[in-house]
Amino acid sequence: MKKRKINIFLTFCILNLCCFAQQPDFLFMSYNVENLFDTIDNPHKNDDEFLPTSDRKWNSYHYHKKLRDIAKVIVAAGQDWHNPDVIGLCEVENDTCLKDLIRKTNLSKLHYKYIHYESEDARGIDVALLYNEQTFKPIFHQPLRVVFDDDTSRKTRDILFVTGIMLATKDTVHIFECHFPSRRGGKVESEPYRMAAARVVRNKIDSIYSKNGFSYVLVSGDFNDSRSDKSIEAGLGAIRTEELTASRNKYGGKFCVNCLINLYSPNAEGTHKFQGEWEFLDQAMVSEALSDHYTIQYNVLQNEFLLKKSEKTGESSPYRTYLGPFYKGGISDHLPIVVSFKKRDRHQPEK
């Protein structure tokens, strides 16, 4: 009996050591939360759709349910008891929403703080960053404003730029959380606006590389473009992971000088569905230095509670909060992406 207890104890220890060994050094998540508005009227923003008096009848019950649901998604994104260290959020109205998210949900126990700036977006939706103060230390942050030369009256979200230290490895990483201009007016017609946003990001990255070409850079968010569109490939200078691997195998050695590597996993068809078609609008890209020194795993979170099956077709789509003016009770019309980073041993060969 005593021997059996010892064996059970040893098995338990081995399992825990295995879990610990698999834990990421840094876990990142990006999520478009689909119109996270409070219920208070802001006379300076066009938030009328999300008020108790609106046709949508947005109210405190729906608001707090959405907060709890988003918190549930963030916890579900954790890996091996490791909750996300940093979370990029798109479509957040203000810091009230962020305070309520980290203080009035289950996230209140997880040491999250936030970084947020008010942008000039007409609807009042911004990007923001949550971070665990015990695992990530911000040392600099600023909003990067996007201005359109041909239409200075048109306003969009800022790019949120944050430099911080991944405390598990003591490495510095430069993070860009983006929400590029929408396809309103048509994909082709609106493309120049997304190109303008891409140039803002690219110019900042180039200024970082000019000081240190081996910097760790992470670009993520909702780009309102797919991985092969112009704003991604030409604007950001992002090359797809599968293309990089093929090029390295063909030419040998390094290939992606000063570019971004657009991460990909075949575990999902996309992150957003429009008129029955999936697209990877939500993406994550890393610098080659970050890819070389860390083992990186990218996934789209597809838990059952994030999806809703159509009664007509039986096909699944993101379980959204609203469809037009009709409340559906879901969380978001986008799926979140999760990226884990594990620093390689210096003697470990690249994969």
> Helix (H, G, I), strand (E, B), or coil: what is residue 159?
strand
Does residue 8 fall inside a structural domain? no
Looking at the predicted structure, is the pLDDT value of residue 101 above 50?
A: yes
Alpha-carbon span 228 to 29, nearest angstrom: 22
Residue 153: which pLDDT band, with cuts at 50, 70 and 90?
confident
Mean pLDDT of 188-209: 96
Interval 42-91: pLDDT, tens: 988 889 999 999 999 999 999 999 999 999 999 999 988 899 999 999 99
Does residue 212 fall inside a structural domain? yes
Note every long-range contact of 232-236, with CB atoms under 8 Å and residues 24 or more positions apart, other chains counting. 232/198, 232/262, 232/283, 234/195, 234/198, 235/194, 235/195, 235/197, 235/198, 235/199, 235/201, 235/202, 236/198, 236/201, 236/202, 236/260, 236/285
Task: Choose between 258 and 111: higher pLDDT.
Answer: 111
Alpha-carbon span 319 to 72, nearest angstrom: 14
CATH number of the domain residue 180 falls in = 3.60.10.10
Q: Whole-model pTM?
A: 0.90
Looking at the predicted structure, is the pLDDT value of residue 272 above 90?
A: yes
Task: Choose between 151 and 3: higher pLDDT.
Answer: 151
Does residue 75 fall inside a structural domain? yes
DSSP state, residue 325: T
Alpha-carbon span 220 to 176, nearest angstrom: 6
Q: Which of 42-51, 226-235, 327-336 has the lowest mean pLDDT?
A: 42-51
Domain coverage including residue 142 = 25-343
Task: Choose between 21 and 75: higher pLDDT.
Answer: 75
Q: Which of 135-149, 193-207, 311-325 has the lowest mean pLDDT?
A: 311-325
- Within 8 A by CB and 6+ apart from 251, the residues are none
Alpha-carbon span 143 to 159, nearest angstrom: 6
The pLDDT assigned to 258 comes to: 79
Does residue 4 fall inside a structural domain? no
Which tokens hold the place of 122?
A: 């007409």
Residue 255: which pLDDT band, with cuts at 50, 70 and 90?
low
Does residue 9 fall inside a structural domain? no
The pLDDT assigned to 167 comes to: 98
Closest Cα to residue 214, out of 288, 164, 140? 288
Closest Cα to residue 77, out of 332, 310, 298, 313? 298
Does residue 10 fall inside a structural domain? no
The pLDDT assigned to 267 comes to: 84
Residue 340: which pLDDT band, with cuts at 50, 70 and 90?
very high
End-to-end CA distance of the chain: 46
Matching residue, tokens 């064996």: 7
Task: Report the number of distinct structural domains present in the chain.
Answer: 1
| CB of 204 closer than 8 Å to CB of 115 | no
Does residue 20 fall inside a structural domain? no
Looking at the predicted structure, is the pLDDT value of residue 249 above 70?
A: no
CA distances to 63, 181, 203, 350 from 29, rounded to whole Å, are 22, 21, 24, 24
Percent of the chain with pLDDT over 70: 88
Which tokens hold the place of 254?
A: 């390094």
Note every long-range contact of 49-58, with CB atoms under 8 Å and residues 24 or more positions apart, other chains counting. 50/93, 55/325, 56/322, 56/325, 56/327, 57/327
Does residue 235 fall inside a structural domain? yes
